[in-house]
Amino acid sequence: MVGDEAMAVLKIVRMGHPVLLQKAEAVQDWRDPEIQRLARDMVDTMIDADGAGLAAPQVAVPLRLIVFRCRAERVSGAPDDQALETRVLLNPEIEPVGDEMALAWEGCLSIPGMRGAVPRPRRIRYRGLGLDGSVIEAEAENFHARVVQHEVDHLDGVLYPMRMQDFRLFGYNEELARAAQAAQEQERAAQEVAEAEARELLGAMQEGVRG
C-alpha cells in the first residue's frame, strides 16, 4: 500500500449518539471518491475492531452503506452456515424468506462489552450495490442472515436491544461467560451425583439378587 491508500481506522460512535437513531440516506453515486474512500475505511475499521460488520451511521455518517463478513470461526460450516469474505453493500434491501425465527447472541461495536439474545428471521433475501456498481443479490441463512439484518437495522436507527424480547438474556460479556461456566460446572456436578446414585442403586440391586 502507498500514500493515501494507507489504512484508516475511523472512530466508532456508541449507543446514546443521536446518529444511531437516525434513518440514513441512500447513497446517490457509488463512483463518488468519498463513498469509495468511506467504504474502504469502514472495512479497515471493522477489521481493526475485530467486528463482523459495520454500518456507516456507526462512524457518524448517515448513509446507507454497510460492510460485513462471516469468519470461519463464527459459522458452523454446514451448507446453510458458510464463511463469507468481506462484502460492501450500498443501499441494501432485505426481505425475510419463510417465517422461521431464530434466537442467537449478538454484540455491537457501538455497545462494547455487552451481548444479548435477539430473535430474527432465520432466512432472508437481500439486494444492494457493490462498490463497483454491480448488483449483489443473495439468499442468506443463520449467521450471514443475522449480520446483514443487524447492519441494515443500523441504517434505520435500530439497535439490537430494541429487537430483544427477554432482557434476562442481556449482559456484559465477562459476566455472561462466568455465568455460563458456573452453569456448566453445576451441570457436571449434578451429573456426578446422579451417576453415584445410580451406582449405589445398582449395587443394592445386585446385593438383593445375591440375598
Query: What are the backbone dihedrals phi and psi of residue 25, each rounded to the nearest 5 degrees, phi first?
Result: -90, 150
Smallest gap from residue 194 Cβ to Ni ion (A): 42
The closest alpha carbon to 42, from 22, 58, 26, belongs to 58
The residue with its CB nearest to Ni ion is 108
Nearer to Ni ion by Cβ, of 63 and 108: the residue is: 108
- Of residues 90 through 129, those in contact with Ni ion by CB under 5 A are 108
3-class secondary-structure state, position 201: helix
Beta bridge mates, 103 = 119
Beta bridge mates, 190 = none
Residue carrying the nine cell digits 439490537: 160
Distance CA 6, CA 31 (A): 20
Contact in structure between 118 and 103 (CB atoms under 8 Å): yes
Query: Is residue 85 annotated as a catalytic residue, yes or no?
Result: no
Nearer to Ni ion by Cβ, of 27 and 118: the residue is: 118
Which cell numbers hold the place of 113?
462489552
Smallest gap from residue 109 Cβ to Ni ion (A): 6
The closest alpha carbon to 22, from 72, 57, 64, 73, belongs to 57
Nearer to Ni ion by Cβ, of 35 and 118: the residue is: 118
Smallest gap from residue 150 Cβ to Ni ion (A): 6
Smallest gap from residue 68 Cβ to Ni ion (A): 10
Nearer to Ni ion by Cβ, of 142 and 149: the residue is: 149
Smallest gap from residue 146 Cβ to Ni ion (A): 11
Nearer to Ni ion by Cβ, of 108 and 140: the residue is: 108
Residue at 144: amino acid letter: H
Residue carrying the nine cell digits 437513531: 21
Distance CA 210, CA 103 (A): 53
Which residue out of 25, 34, 106, 151 is catalytically annotated?
151
Residue carrying the nine cell digits 461456566: 181
Active site residues: 151
Q: Which residues sit at the interface with Ni ion, rule CB under 5 A?
A: 108
